[in-house]
Amino acid sequence: MTTLHRAVFIDRDGTLIKERGYITSIRQVRFFQGTASALNRLRKAGYKLVIVTNQAGIARGLLTEKILRRINNYILGKFRRQGVIFSRVYYCPHHPEGTIAKYRRHCRCRKPSPGMLLQARRDLHINLKQSFVIGDARRDLLCGKKVGAKSILVLTGQGRKTTPTLPARTAVRSGGRRGEKKLADFIAPNLNIASKWIINRNYLDV
């Protein structure tokens, strides 16, 4: 019988690294302070670490998949030197309004669609209902909810713009749209606090 693993799915821009618009070069990559410690905390607690990122810049012709892989490898290398090992990186290069025909489509992998999480479930034998999605945008929260994972909003990146009228409390309900349950199980100022909440699962007044 295959053993199922717990995972933490982490958005890249605005969550794992600083939001810089479309990142098309390694020179644009900037890391948040304390991120490696947070990731190591999760890894030591038994969670697989997985990056899931929309990269519409490819569809818009701003960078190629080869350049994206170079940027991702740079990020992975920086974390690896601090003891952080990611199990996989998934990215969506598509956008329905892309200028590159190859990538111009409605797809099942672009968040909020859960295609990348479902692929990770198959590849890495993940129990999605025992897993977490961390991101700074509404699409990240929705993506997690579609597969039964817990969703955490971080207030880095676009996080504060995502919920401009909502208090930073543990449970936040959606904007009243019919059929939507609460989107964020927790709101954290950063990835460090998010990691502590995952492990402790106690109320933190942030």
Host domain of residue 32: 7-200
Is residue 205 in a domain?
no
Is position 116 within any domain? yes
Residue 182's pLDDT is: 75
Instruction: Compute the average pLDDT of residues 79-90.
Output: 97
Query: What's the CATH number where 52 sits?
Result: 3.40.50.1000
128-163 confidence digits (pLDDT tens): 999 999 999 999 999 999 999 999 999 999 898 886
Torsional sign, CA 91, 158, 96, 109 = positive
Q: Is residue 47 part of a domain?
A: yes
Asked, for residue 1, whether it belongs to a domain, the answer is no
Q: What count of other Cβ atoms lies within 10 Å of the Cβ of residue 72? A: 18
Q: Could you give the 3-state DSSP secondary structure of residue 135?
A: strand
Task: Supply the pLDDT for residue 22.
Answer: 96
Q: Does 82 score more than 80 pLDDT?
A: yes
Within-domain flag for 87:
yes
- The per-residue pLDDT for 114 is 98
Bridge partners of 153, per DSSP, are 135, 187
- Asked if the structure places residue 82 within a domain, the reply is yes
What's the pLDDT score for residue 163? 67
N-to-C CA span, the chain: 41
State residue 147's pLDDT score.
98
> What kind and span of H or E run contains 159?
helix 159-162
Q: How many domains does the chain have?
A: 1
Residue % of the chain over a pLDDT of 90: 83
Average pLDDT, integer, range 89-101:
98
Q: Is residue 151 part of a domain?
A: yes
The answer to the question of residue 166 being in a domain is: yes
Q: What integer is the mean pLDDT of 51-72?
A: 98
Task: Give the pLDDT of residue 164.
Answer: 53
pTM of the model: 0.90
Q: For the CA atoms of the chain, what is the radius of gyration?
A: 16
Average pLDDT over residues 81-94: 98
Average pLDDT over residues 185-200: 95
Q: Quick one: average pLDDT of 5-32?
A: 97
Q: Which two tokens stand for residue 204?
A: 């933190």
Whether residue 170 is predicted with pLDDT greater than 90 in this model: the reply is: no
103-128 pLDDT per residue, tens: 999 999 999 999 999 999 999 999 99
Question: Crossing angle for the helix pair 35-44 and 65-80, nearest 10 degrees?
Answer: 80
